[in-house]
Amino acid sequence: MLTKKTAAGIGIGGFIVAFGVYFLLGGIVFHTHQVNETVGIGKNDVFQFYAEKHFNETLGVTGSSFHVKLKSPVDGLQVDHDFTNQVNFTWVSLANGQHTINITNTGDSILKVVGKLNATTNSFELMSHLTVVISGIIIIGISAAFSIRKPRGF
């Protein structure tokens, strides 16, 4: 027979494990972000994402004039230029890492930014989700021990 503390601990631990597994599984697969944004006059927009090696990325910007600063890991695509009318970027990630794209509207019309960015979660985020799962399992184990033999003081 389970005591109230045991049942509560198993329920809480089960909830924590389910919560951790949900986000762990969601973080393992890569995500495709369909970009369809506008940037107002004098404003800027920043895209930061972590991508694996060999992921394909595309981005197009249309407007009167704008500045694009794009950094990809290692010796990948590096851009820091002013453009007018339209520019399209298509690149393949050469290494795992953080990609940063900063688009600044320097013209007198609204910018249209469209593209497809493939991203994954950082490995540190995966480890944090795994830590939550392990914590839930430990809570379940400690709670199950209460129904076997009550420790002193409980």
Split into its structural domains, the chain has a count of 2
Q: Answer yes or no: do 23 and 40 share one domain.
A: no
Q: Do 91 and 138 have their domain in common?
A: no
Q: 31-84, pLDDT tens digit by residue?
A: 777 889 898 898 999 988 888 888 888 999 999 999 999 998 888 888 899 998
Encode pLDDT of 3-36 as tens digits: 788 888 889 999 999 988 888 877 676 677 788 9
Angstrom CA distances, 31 to 17, 28, 120, 124, 131, stand at 23, 9, 6, 17, 22
HSE of 70, CA atoms in CB hemisphere, 13 A:
22
Q: Are residues 92 and 59 located together in one domain of the fold?
A: yes
- Report yes or no: 133 and 17 within 8 Å, Cβ to Cβ: yes
Residues 130 and 70 in one domain: no
Q: Which of 39, 38, 35 lies closest to 48 in space, CA to CA? A: 35
What's the whole-model pTM score? 0.61
Q: How confident is the model at residue 142 (pLDDT cuts 50, 70, 90)?
A: confident
Task: Round to whole Å and give the CA distance between 53 and 69.
Answer: 21
Residue 76 CA to residue 94 CA, distance in Å, equals: 6
| 97 shares its domain with 133 | no
Residue 55, domain extent: 34-119
